[in-house]
């Protein structure tokens, strides 16, 4: 039974992540509670940004799902081997890196940090502590994003994890 569950999670991880993204979108819309007192225009802007952010975050999972549905990859574990040069794995890794760079650009050059802080957009991702993130914290996370993605890719290559076929 344990191996069956493990195999199912490995095979359908992309679908689980898409379901989590759908839940995040649903929950984020409901987290705008009465104590925030957002104006109607701010609510509309918040919903628009949440749609864009959560929608964009589904791109890697869609790529992963396409790879698995076409038979190019068999499980989520294939995506820990970018050195195999599988086109879907490379597209998956590239989409994550592109999203982190796009976020970096938006935060630093399109006033995204101010929008994240003002509209409390990080609540969509579960950051709902006592104090909302400051613009400085948002910029720090955005700056570290591409660095962490590159570090993850390098780590995957050096670990050279064996996968079952």
* Domain membership flag for residue 110: yes
DSSP letter at 43 equals H
Instruction: Flag whether pLDDT at 5 surpasses 90.
Output: no
Based on DSSP, count helices (H) and strands (E) in the chain, helices before strands: 6, 0
Contacts 24+ apart (CB under 8 A), 157-160: 157/82, 157/83, 159/80, 160/81, 160/83
CB contact at 8 A, 112 and 103: yes
Within-domain flag for 164: no
Q: Which two tokens stand for residue 120?
A: 């409390």
Residue 105's pLDDT is 97
More confident residue, 37 or 69: 69
Tally of domains in the chain: 1
Tokens read off for 51 = 């749609």
pLDDT digits (tens, 9 = 90+) for 142-162: 999 999 999 999 999 998 777
165, part of any domain: no
pLDDT at residue 68, as a whole number: 94
Q: Report which of residues 135 and 34 the model is more confident about.
A: 135
* Range(s) of the domain holding residue 151: 2-159
Q: pLDDT band at 36, cuts 50/70/90?
A: low
Q: Which of 11-25, 43-57, 77-91, 112-126 has the lowest mean pLDDT?
A: 112-126
**In angstroms, how far is the first alpha carbon of the chain from the final one?**
20
Domain assignment present for 118: yes
Give residue 127's pLDDT: 64
Residue 4 has what pLDDT?
84
Q: Is residue 83 part of a domain?
A: yes
**pLDDT band (50, 70, 90) for residue 51:** confident
Q: Residue 34: what pLDDT?
A: 45
């Amino acid at each position: 039974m344990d191996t069956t569950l493990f195999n199912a999670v490995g095979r359908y991880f992309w679908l689980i992540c898409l379901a989590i993204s759908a839940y995040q979108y649903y929950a984020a819309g409901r987290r705008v509670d009465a104590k925030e007192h957002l104006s109607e225009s701010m609510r509309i802007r918040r919903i628009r940004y949440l749609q864009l952010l959560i929608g964009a975050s589904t791109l890697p999972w869609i790529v992963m799902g396409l790879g698995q549905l076409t038979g190019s990859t068999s499980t989520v574990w294939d995506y820990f081997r970018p050195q195999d040069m599988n086109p879907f794995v490379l597209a998956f890794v590239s989409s994550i890196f592109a999203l982190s760079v796009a976020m970096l650009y938006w935060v630093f050059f399109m006033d995204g940090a101010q929008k994240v802080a003002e509209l409390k957009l990080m609540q969509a991702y579960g950051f709902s502590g006592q104090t909302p993130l400051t613009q400085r914290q948002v910029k720090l996370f955005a700056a570290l994003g591409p660095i962490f993605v590159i570090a993850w890719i390098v780590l995957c290559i050096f670990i050279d994890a064996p996968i079952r076929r």
